[in-house]
Amino acid sequence: MNQVQSSQGGNPLDKIKSVVNGPNNVQGMERAASLAGGALLVFRGMRRGGIFGLASMAMGAAALMRGSTGHCEMKQKLQQRKA
């Protein structure tokens, strides 16, 4: 790792690894719904095309990531804020 990367918080892959291996705050039916909804959004976005299809695919990809990793950064921030 070079000096520039260490001053900016390290390797971007380390951030992804920390999310994937981080604490699970999405479980059960909520996780299954994220996977199913994400797959549906990606599929519908591919069929639609254009800018709205691209937006749908991006939201679907985020939902798939949430369901597959079992971690949602937004949910974690909201839970910390409540406490």
Cβ-based neighbours of 11, under 8 Å, separated by 6 or more: 1, 5
The predicted structure's pLDDT at residue 16:
65
pLDDT single digits (tens) 6-64? 445 677 777 666 666 667 888 899 999 999 999 999 999 999 999 999 999 999 999 99
Q: What is the pTM of this model?
A: 0.71
Give the integer Cα–Cα distance in Å for 15 and 2.
17
| Contact status, residue 83 vs residue 75, Cβ threshold 8 Å | no
Q: Is the pLDDT of residue 1 over 60?
A: no
